[in-house]
């Protein structure tokens, strides 16, 4: 089942259950997915990752501004969106993917960081945050 259809079903059940917070978050997700579909972008996972990242950044900004109540709401939305994304790689699995991709790409020094990141991010396929990947690649290249 496509993520768009899954979100629609979840939205209907949340509306029936009277979960106002969840309904609002699901409507936002549905809107973004539909907008991306109209624009010709078929990568639903990319849309979800982008929206999740926006919510986490907003939560961080709210927390820095002393608005804990708003930060909690943003984190709840990010968690809801994360439920539609594939599971994150564990640290050991990610390390193995990084090592395999680095050996396949031939990257050996910090100068090869761009080539290495391209190779690793393709292998990870969105199952890990770019910051985590970058830190592991930098450490593996001795940077």
pLDDT at 55 over 90: yes
Q: Which CATH code is given to the segment(s) 91-140? A: 1.10.10.410
**73 falls in which pLDDT band (50, 70, 90)?**
very high
CATH topology of domain 3-82: Hypothetical Protein Yqey; Chain: A; domain1 (1.10.1510)
Q: What is the DSSP string of the chain?
A: --HHHHHHHHHHHHHHHT-HHHHHHHHHHHHHHHHHHHTT---HHHHHHHHHHHHHHHHHHHHHTT-HHHHHHHHHHHHHHHTTSPPPPPHHHHHHHHHHHHHHHT--SGGGHHHHHHHHHHHHTTSS-HHHHHHHHHHHTT-
Kindly report which listed range (15-29, 69-83, 121-135) carries the lowest average pLDDT score. 121-135
Stretch(es) of the chain classified as CATH 1.10.1510.10: 3-82
| 78-82, 98-102, 104-108, 129-133, range with greatest mean pLDDT | 78-82
Start-end of CATH 1.10.10.410 domains in the chain: 91-140
Confidence at residue 74, expressed as pLDDT on a 0 to 100 scale: 93
Q: Is residue 63 over pLDDT 90?
A: yes
Q: pTM for the complete prediction?
A: 0.74
For residues 51-71, average pLDDT: 94
Judge whether 128 and 95 are in contact, CB under 8 Å: no
Res 1 pLDDT > 70: no
């Amino acid at each position: 089942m496509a993520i768009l259809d899954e979100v629609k079903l979840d939205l209907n059940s949340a509306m029936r259950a009277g979960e106002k917070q969840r309904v609002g978050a699901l409507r936002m997700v549905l809107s973004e997915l539909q907008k991306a579909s109209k624009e010709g972008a078929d990568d639903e996972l990319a849309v979800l990752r982008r929206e999740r990242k926006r919510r986490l950044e907003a939560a961080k900004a709210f927390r820095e501004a002393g608005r804990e109540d708003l930060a909690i709401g943003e984190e709840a939305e990010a968690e809801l969106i994360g439920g539609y994304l594939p599971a994150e790689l564990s640290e050991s699995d990610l390390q193995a993917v990084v090592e395999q991709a680095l050996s396949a790409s031939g990257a050996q020094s910090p100068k090869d960081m761009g080539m290495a990141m391209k190779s690793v991010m393709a292998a990870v396929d969105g199952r890990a945050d770019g910051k985590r990947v970058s830190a592991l690649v930098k450490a593996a290249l001795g940077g």
